[in-house]
């Protein structure tokens, strides 16, 4: 079931459009973006994007060297204003990956901050500097000061490349319609308004940091303060100075939870926030509880993907239940299916595991140049196969238990989600970090394997101790049969544990 989708505004950024139309009006003077000690009002943002939008107008696609800077935000907004799809590039990508993305997306040029060094893989592209320090009188720039007619909602806004864990990265083509409806659905769920000030330190080449973290505040007419690089001191400063919302990933909230006992200023700042949001991976229940105990505030989780943008969230006026990602957002249909992908599960019992499929205006259009992959991703009636496994509680709350490819363990006739075992392991005082995978077992089909970063490397908990701990909290068939001790867990830029590296390491 789903609720009606909010009607998107005709313009992606109404406050920016207003600032363009009336450079002396109130909207023009509202804070829009701040990165460190550099900031832009909506009027200044308009002055920066107008000439850049005119420069890139008509290009088929433009690549954006997506550093955590004002210039990246200006470049993406200028491309969207011009109706040109932007392809955000991860500055940490290697040469072969960048080469693949450039060859696949065929951008006409690359936008980057002035003076930024670009790698050899981008040498064939014409470079255009996204210059923020421009002196443009929007009132005098003539026709280019107007955004013109809003491009069709089905036209591409962004091409965002997936992580490529099962092959070369695929370019998910995200239409303007998906950006607008997702951000409006989140505004409904989170009571997100133009009065909100968001703080985060997320990278800007991904859906979370760029679409939610930059375009989200701009669509609401609010503002964002980007930390450049995440640290708890920055969070404390910004929340103490008027920021109302914090976006982060579990590794960030884990660092917050670890710091809280010795940092009363951080606890006080978090208690002031209107909304604390975590995404991109599951936030361990242990960290949920530590933050709630120290601050009186519970972290809200939401669930999305590059291909779907946001699907569910705990609502601001709902119960922030640890370990869940809430209910479907307005306009999003969600169902759980059996392994065959066609049999829909009817049991909302908090136990029966199924694959999440979603349908709605939040979905991407296609994988660029990959009609085979696009066709395989959808059912015949338009449901997207997420590959994520979940259970649903009787009241509709969704609890993710892992990825179908790496987190669904079939052991002794049971279907077991790795996520709930990881949460149980993290409740053991001797466990700092945990990941769970499955490996072949002649008797059970698969046996449960735990990968542990111990709290005290000199005295790690034994396999038997951890097995008893899990069996006592969940069920005996969910206990780990093998335990590996590690110094660190392999993670990607968004803090997700790379389980394929564990399983093949």
CATH of domain 406-503: 3.30.300.30
**Residue 50 · residue 43 · CB < 8 Å:** no
Q: What is the pLDDT of residues 360-417, one digit of tens each?
A: 999 999 999 999 999 999 998 999 999 888 999 999 999 988 777 666 677 766 667 7
How much is the pLDDT for 222? 96
User: Can you give the pTM of this predicted structure?
Assistant: 0.83
Say if residue 136's pLDDT is above 60: no
pLDDT band at 503 (very low <50, low <70, confident <90, very high): low
Q: What is the pLDDT of residues 274-286, one digit of tens each?
A: 999 998 877 888 8
Sequence spans of domains, the chain = 10-175, 406-503
Q: For residue 200, count CB atoms less than 10 angstroms from its CB and return exposed for 0-12, middle for 13-18, buried for 19 or more.
A: buried
How much is the pLDDT for 78? 95
Mean pLDDT, residues 214-236 taken together: 96
pLDDT band at 5 (very low <50, low <70, confident <90, very high): low
CATH superfamily of 10-175: ANL, N-terminal domain (3.40.50.12780)
Of all helices (H) and strands (E), which one includes residue 77? helix 70-82
Of 210, 209, 217, nearest in space to 192 by CA: 217
Averaged pLDDT score across all residues of the chain: 88
| Higher pLDDT, residue 446 or 19 | 19
Q: What is the pLDDT of residues 145-172, one digit of tens each?
A: 455 677 888 999 999 998 655 567 899 9
Q: What is the pLDDT of residues 292-317, one digit of tens each?
A: 999 999 999 999 999 999 999 999 98
Of 145, 129, 136, nearest in space to 54 by CA: 145
Give residues with Cβ within 8 angstroms of 262, minimum separation 6.
Answer: none
Could you check whether 10-175 and 406-503 share the same CATH topology?
no
Say if residue 322's pLDDT is above 70: yes
C-alpha–C-alpha distance, residues 269 and 56, integer Å:
42
Of 386, 91, 292, 85, nearest in space to 209 by CA: 91
Of all helices (H) and strands (E), which one includes residue 311? strand 309-313
Q: Is the dihedral of CA 6, 356, 313, 236 positive or negative?
A: negative
- For residue 304, how many C-alpha atoms fall within 13 Å in the half-sphere facing its CB? 32
């Amino acid at each position: 079931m789903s609720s009606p989708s909010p009607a998107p505004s005709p313009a992606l950024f109404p406050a920016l459009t207003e600032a363009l139309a009336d450079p002396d009006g109130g909207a023009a003077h509202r804070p829009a973006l701040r990165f460190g000690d550099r900031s832009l009002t909506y009027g200044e943002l308009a002055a920066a994007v107008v000439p850049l939008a005119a420069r890139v107008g008509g290009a088929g696609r433009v690549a954006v060297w997506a550093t955590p800077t004002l210039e990246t935000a200006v470049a993406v907004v200028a491309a969207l204003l011009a109706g040109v799809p932007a392809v955000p590039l991860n500055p940490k990508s290697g040469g072969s990956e960048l080469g693949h993305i450039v060859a696949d997306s065929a951008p006409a040029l690359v936008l980057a901050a002035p003076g930024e060094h670009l790698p050899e893989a981008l040498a064939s592209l014409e470079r255009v500097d996204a210059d923020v320090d421009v002196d443009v009188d929007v009132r005098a720039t003539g026709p280019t000061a107007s955004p013109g007619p809003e491009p069709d909602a089905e036209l591409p806004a962004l091409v965002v490349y997936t992580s490529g864990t099962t092959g070369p990265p695929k370019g998910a083509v995200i239409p303007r319609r998906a950006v607008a409806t997702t951000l409006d659905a989140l505004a409904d769920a989170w009571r997100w308004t133009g009065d909100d000030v968001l703080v985060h330190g997320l990278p800007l080449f991904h859906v979370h940091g760029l679409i939610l973290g930059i375009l989200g505040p701009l669509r609401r007419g609010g503002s964002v303060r980007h930390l450049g690089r995440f640290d708890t001191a920055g969070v404390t400063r910004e929340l103490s100075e008027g920021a109302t919302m914090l976006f982060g990933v579990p590794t960030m909230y884990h660092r917050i939870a670890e710091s809280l006992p010795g940092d009363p200023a951080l606890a006080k700042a978090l208690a002031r926030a209107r909304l604390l949001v975590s995404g991109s991976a599951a936030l361990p229940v242990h960290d949920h509880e530590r933050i709630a105990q120290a601050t009186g505030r519970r972290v809200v989780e939401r669930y999305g993907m590059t291909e779907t943008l946001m699907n569910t969230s705990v609502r601001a006026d709902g119960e922030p239940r640890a370990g869940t990602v809430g209910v479907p957002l307005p306009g999003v249909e969600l169902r759980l299916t059996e392994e065959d992908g066609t049999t829909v599960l009817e049991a909302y019992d908090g136990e029966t595991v199924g694959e999440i499929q979603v349908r709605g205006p939040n979905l991407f259009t296609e994988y660029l140049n990959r009609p085979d992959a696009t066709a395989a991703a959808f059912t015949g009636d338009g449901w997207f196969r997420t590959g994520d496994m979940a259970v649903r509680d009787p009241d509709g709350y969704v609890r993710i238990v892992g990825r179908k490819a790496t987190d669904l363990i079939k052991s002794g006739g049971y279907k077991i989600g790795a996520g709930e075992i990881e949460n149980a392991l993290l409740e053991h005082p001797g466990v700092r970090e945990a990941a769970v995978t499955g490996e072949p077992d002649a008797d059970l089909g698969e046996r449960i394997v735990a990968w542990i970063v111990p709290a005290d490397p000199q005295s790690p908990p034994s396999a038997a101790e951890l097995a008893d701990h899990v069996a006592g909290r969940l069920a005996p068939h969910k206990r780990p049969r093998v335990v590996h001790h590690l110094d660190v867990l392999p993670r990607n830029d968004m803090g997700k544990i790379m389980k394929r590296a564990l399983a093949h390491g």
